[in-house]
Amino acid sequence: MLRVSNVCKQFNETVVLDNVSFSVEKSDILGLAGPSGGGKSTLLRCMQKLDTSDSGSIECNGRVGFMFQDFQLFPHMTVLENLIYAPTLKNKKLNHQKQARDMLKNLGIASKADTYPRHLSGGQKQRVALARSLMIKPDILLCDEPTSGLDVATTTDVVTLLESVCEMGVTMVIASHDLDFLTKISDRIILLNGGKIVVDIRPQELDDAVDYLKKYY
């Protein structure tokens, strides 16, 4: 589905990604762990072509969606307008309203279609951001820190929510500093430290995956 081969990236003198290679199979949820500054966001940005690597290659079969950290909803647009903005830029003729309303319904926030982001809770903003990133029908969805700023109860909802997205057939790569969350949701976890992959595990196969990963922080 996605193959990252020997990717290197520097910002000035700082090596941020140091010969990173891995691949993601279809319908897998890959967790991207590691301490702050480890290179997680940079790797996701390179995967989405928001940034370019200095060397190496990233090959992907299919459309890539991206869910930003801190949601980045357009504040002056309603929930529905947020969802149809990008698809409408791409194809003006098509009416995207029905797809948007169906998506909101699937994610349990149909009643918020005409609400502005400032009137939503953190968990609701999260759902809107997810709905918006699913509008382009991605084959693979990249999520950067999807639980940051959410309380514990909402984090549990995000696990259920992202699992339901996986069941829609979307492959996912989720970057997070939150190990409890990541071990709950991921089929496989790679840990980036100083731009290198230092761990590659399947958390179900470890009794104490969280403790194991903590050693690298």
Ligand X SMILES: Nc1ncnc2c1ncn2[C@@H]1O[C@H](COP(=O)(O)OP(=O)(O)O)[C@@H](O)[C@H]1O
- Cβ at position 36, least distance to ligand X in Å: 4
Cα–Cα distance, 86 to 70 (Å, whole number)? 18
- Cβ at position 193, least distance to ligand X in Å: 9
Tokens, residue 27? 């319908």
- Cβ at position 108, least distance to ligand X in Å: 29
Residue with Cβ nearer ligand X (42 or 133): 42
Q: Provide the 3-class DSSP secondary structure of residue 163.
A: helix
Residue 61 has φ and ψ, to the nearest 5°, of -95, 95
Stretch that binds Mg ion, among 37-45, 83-91, 93-101, 131-139 (CB under 5 A): 37-45
Residue ranges in the chain assigned as alpha helix (H): 40-47, 79-90, 97-106, 122-134, 152-167, 179-185, 209-214
Residue with Cβ nearer ligand X (2 or 16): 16
Single-letter amino acid, residue 144: D
Residue with Cβ nearer ligand X (15 or 136): 15
CA-to-CA dists, residue 61 to 3, 45, 58, 123, angstroms: 9, 17, 10, 31
Residue 39 binding result from Mg ion, ligand X, none, given CB thresholds of 5 to 8 Å by partner type: ligand X
Residue with Cβ nearer ligand X (64 or 83): 64
Residue 203 binding result from Mg ion, ligand X, none, given CB thresholds of 5 to 8 Å by partner type: none
Tokens, residue 102? 């169906």
Is residue 146 a contact point for ligand X (CB under 6 A)? no
Interacting residue with Mg ion among 4, 17, 41, 53 (CB under 5 A): 41
Interacting residue with ligand X among 4, 40, 147, 191 (CB under 6 A): 40
Residue 133 has φ and ψ, to the nearest 5°, of -70, -20
| Angle, CA of 208, 217 and 154, to the nearest 5° | 65
- Cβ at position 54, least distance to ligand X in Å: 13
Stretch that binds Mg ion, among 35-43, 52-60, 71-79, 131-139 (CB under 5 A): 35-43
Interacting residue with ligand X among 38, 87, 138, 203 (CB under 6 A): 38
Q: Provide the 3-class DSSP secondary structure of residue 196.
A: strand
Where does this chain bind Mg ion (CB under 5 A)?
40-41
